[in-house]
Amino acid sequence: MRLGIGARILVMAAVLCTAFGLGRASNRSRDTIVGLFGVGGIIVQHGDDAVLWQYLPDVKKWMTIDEAFKRDGRDTKILPLPVAAVKIRAMESWGFLVTTEGKVWQYDLDAGRWVELGMP
């Protein structure tokens, strides 16, 4: 089912309120939310690393992106990301990111690794 832009905004607002309200992200030592991806996904800076958390409304639980895929029977190695959290300029989905240095990375599901794509 596809959600309209209004519904996506409401879902994202609910996810963020839940993240802050439950204190899940803030309970981790010095973790900081630095971005969003997709619907229900947050990028958290954990030290120098970035961790992708996905909220699963059916179980009302946060899981890392790899844990969420494992729950669906897929073994991925998305974490660690190929760059530090502070170097992520944009990430629209869990498998595609642009760095502050202008590098473009995509997670290759078939190869199970991050690949730098270069510029178009």
Per-residue pLDDT of 46-72, as tens digits, reads 988 899 999 999 999 999 999 999 998
And the tokens for 54? Answer: 């996905």
Domain of 25 in residue numbering reads as: 5-116
- Spatial distance between the Cα atoms of 102 and 60, rounded to a whole number of angstroms: 36
Q: Give the residue with greater pLDDT, 17 vs 117.
A: 117
Residues in contact with 44: Cβ distance below 8 Å, sequence separation at least 6, in sequence order: 25, 28, 31, 32, 33, 34, 50, 51, 52, 53, 85
Tokens 């519904």 correspond to 7
**What confidence category does residue 15 fall into, taking pLDDT thresholds of 50, 70 and 90?**
very low
Provide the domain count of the chain.
Answer: 1
Q: Is the pTM of this model over 0.85?
A: no
